[in-house]
Amino acid sequence: MNITPFDAPLGAKVSGLDLSLTLDEHSFSDLYAAWLEHSVLVIPDQSLTELALVEFSQRLGQLELPPASETRARGDGGASLPEIWTISNVKVDGVAIGGLGNFEADWHTDMSYLETPPIASVLYAREIPEVGANTSFADMYAALDSMPAGLRQRLSDIRVQHDSAYTSVGTLRDGATKVGDASEAVGAIHPAVRTHPETNRQALYMGRRLNASIQNMPMEQSEGLLDEIWSFCTQRQFVYEHVWQIGDLVMWDNRCTIHRRDAFDSEQRRIMWRTQVNAR
């Protein structure tokens, strides 16, 4: 196995690995250590069955099942195992086979509105458009480390109210109620700075911008500070942008990264299989 860090603050490419075969304990622990070190791993040229993807993902932790809304239509390239989330714009009889459509997904970390958010997400490319739909990752250790002292000081004790109503592409989740402004958001509250339980490094943990607010701070002041933090932590210098190839498997650490996705042409097909991993 070869680990080649990208020319970016986070992310590395892993070659010499075939995830359709069961990794021995030694290789798995090398891979896991590289993942903790680089936060995002890209493992290209994989040819995986649904079961192989599930079995590999389960070694990272317990899998979170997709909500019913993500599995309304199966078939036409959508996954059929219950552990796999399909991320796709493809429709069968007018019903999407998966989530997120062809829309832009704004910067976020997955499901930060839960009390115990998932630690990892794994995305495996089955079909991709000719152009577009790149996925970018930003390093929340680096963002925190390089923050100007004044700003760093202002967020040392703050806690953020997260919003559970909207997806990363801004659509209302099934069963959720519309949120008029951030004061109406329903979701978990997390400190803005958290210590990663495995690396023991401090990372910025902001979730997403939409309908977020800082606890015990007047709304106007909260909006201003959140805008400042978000425009700082999403700067190019903290980002690795992934251009997909079919067969790429990308696994990211939700505790210390955020990600976004570009929109793409609705006439093109994109089908990704995804798993979401909870702490063991």
Which residues lie near Mn ion (CB under 5 A)?
110
SS3 call for 7: coil
272 binds, among Mn ion, ligand OGA, none (CB under 5 to 8 A by kind): ligand OGA
Determine how many CB atoms are found less than 10 A away from the CB of residue 101.
20
CA angle, 268 then 274 then 280, to 5°: 170
Could you tell me the smallest distance in angstroms from the CB atom of residue 10 to Mn ion?
A: 16
Q: C-beta of 88: minimal distance to ligand OGA in Å?
A: 9
Q: Does 275 bind ligand OGA (CB under 6 A)?
A: no
Name the DSSP class of 274: E
Distance CA 63, CA 15 (A): 25
Quick one: what does residue 179 bind among Mn ion, ligand OGA, none, with the CB cut-off 5 to 8 Å set by partner type?
none
Residue 95 exposure: Cα atoms within 13 Å on the Cβ side: 11
Pick the closer one to ligand OGA by CB: 145 or 241: 241
Q: Shortest approach of ligand OGA to residue 166 CB, angstroms?
A: 13
| Residue of 31, 42, 48, 87 interacting with ligand OGA (CB under 6 A) | 87
Q: Does 272 bind ligand OGA (CB under 6 A)?
A: yes
Taking every pair of Cα atoms in the chain, the longest distance, rounded to a whole number of angstroms, is 54
- Residues 167-178 as b/e (b if ≥16 CB within 10 A, e otherwise) read bbbeeeeeeeee
Which one of Mn ion, ligand OGA, none is in contact with 135 (Cβ closer than 5 to 8 A by kind)?
Answer: ligand OGA
Contacted by 123, from ligand OGA, Mn ion, none: CB < 5 to 8 Å by type: ligand OGA
Instruction: Write down the least CB distance from residue 25 to ligand OGA, Å.
Output: 28
- Cα distance between residue 36 and residue 77, in whole Å: 31
Q: Footprint of ligand OGA on this chain (CB under 6 A)? A: 87, 100, 105, 110, 121, 123, 135, 168, 259, 261, 272, 274
